[in-house]
Amino acid sequence: MSELQALFEQFPAFWIVTAAVLGLLVGSFLNVVINRLPVMMEREWKRDCRALLEEEDSGSASEEAPFDLVRPRSTCPSCGTPIRAWQNIPVISWLMLRGRCANCGKTISWQYPAVELTSAGLVALAAWQFGPGGYALAVFLFSWALLAASVIDLKTQLLPDVFTLPLLWLGLLLPILLPDYHLSLQEAVLGATFGYLALWSVYWLFKLVTGKEGMGYGDFKLLAALGAWLGWQMLPLVILLSALAGSVIGIGMILFLRHDRRIPIPFGPYLAIAGLLALYLGEPILAAYLGGF
């Protein structure tokens, strides 16, 4: 046992606070990923299309400025003023600036503090629930991937493979990497397989009946990842909870936010909510349900 882990075990409150601070910092980075990754994906798709059509890049495309998670420097989306280091402190900077740009005074999106606080809350919960150790660190990654993928899905109706596929592979590797893991490798593999096939079957059935696509392939991959993490036994509960969350939130958006019911609502965030609920409360929920019989 490392000295750091021993220190965290001796002072659990210190472990939880450390996790929360880490969550705030990573949440700030997740905001960068959420805002930039869809643009990076769109640029890559355009390059692939030009290559497929065997067209030469236009002059504007060849001279396109670099754009990734590091370049260019973060700026205000309204006035383009570079953001200084003190303006990048998670949550605190947003509060100090009263949610407005220091230069132009335009409103800064609630997304930034919301993602940072949610990230901190999720990893603090994992730290409290699982204690210091490899599994808690894995749940940190699990929570961050679900958070970033959910917000991107809400904004763009895309679930990037860069989140779903590593989450799937990590879920399959954990039974091998961690001693005394709660799932066997067989349960993880079956969970991933049944998770993918469950929504894949619904997709094709819906398409054959209506001629429309009811969901995207990213949803299949995300449920496969959740199955790898939670096991095939939890899949019915995850599907039920995601449908319940979708119904409640969807009806609330239509009634209170006047969301146009003709505009599709992404399913990824509901799967993420259900996956987190099943991770922490799945066994008590199943025990209470089965106890009723």
Q: Which pLDDT score, from 0 to 100, does residue 214 have?
A: 72
Q: What SS3 state is found at 54?
A: coil
Do you know the residue count of the chain?
A: 293
Q: Phi and psi (nearest 5°) for 82?
A: -60, 140
Q: What SS3 state is found at 193?
A: helix
Q: Are residues 160 and 118 in the same domain?
A: no
- Reported confidence tier of residue 246, pLDDT bands at 50, 70, 90: confident
Secondary structure E strands in the chain: none
Q: Give tens-digit pLDDT for 143-169.
A: 999 999 999 999 999 999 999 999 999
Q: Are residues 114 and 99 in the same domain?
A: yes
Residue 132: asked if its preceding bond is cis (omega within 30°), the reply is no
Given 101, 132, 163, the domain boundary residue is 132
Q: Are residues 125 and 138 in the same domain?
A: no
Would you say 93 and 108 are in contact if contact means Cβ atoms under 8 Å apart?
no
Residue 204 tokens read as 């094709």
Greatest CA separation for the chain:
70
Kindly report the number of other CB atoms within 10 A of residue 172's CB atom.
20
Mean pLDDT of 184-211: 92
Domain of 156, in residue numbers: 133-293
Q: Are residues 283 and 138 in the same domain?
A: yes
Number of domains, the chain: 2
Chain Cα centroid distance, residue 237: 19
Q: Are residues 127 and 2 in the same domain?
A: yes
- Measured CA to CA, the distance from residue 226 to residue 279 in angstroms comes to 9
Q: Are residues 70 and 142 in the same domain?
A: no
Q: Are residues 199 and 280 in the same domain?
A: yes
Q: Are residues 122 and 202 in the same domain?
A: no
Given 132, 152, 186, the domain boundary residue is 132
Q: Which residues contact 242 (CB under 8 A, 6 or more apart)?
A: 267, 270, 271, 273, 274
Q: Are residues 53 and 151 in the same domain?
A: no
Q: Are residues 111 and 164 in the same domain?
A: no
- Measured CA to CA, the distance from residue 75 to residue 79 in angstroms comes to 8
Q: Which residues contact 272 (CB under 8 A, 6 or more apart)?
A: 146, 147, 149, 150, 222
Q: Which of 118, 236, 220 is nearest to 165 (CA)?
A: 220
More reliable by pLDDT, 104 or 196: 196
Q: Are residues 292 and 155 in the same domain?
A: yes
Q: Give tens-digit pLDDT for 249-291.
A: 877 777 776 666 667 778 999 999 999 999 999 988 888 877 7
First to last CA, the chain: 44
Q: Are residues 106 and 147 in the same domain?
A: no
Q: Give tens-digit pLDDT for 27-60.
A: 999 999 999 999 999 998 888 888 888 765 554 4
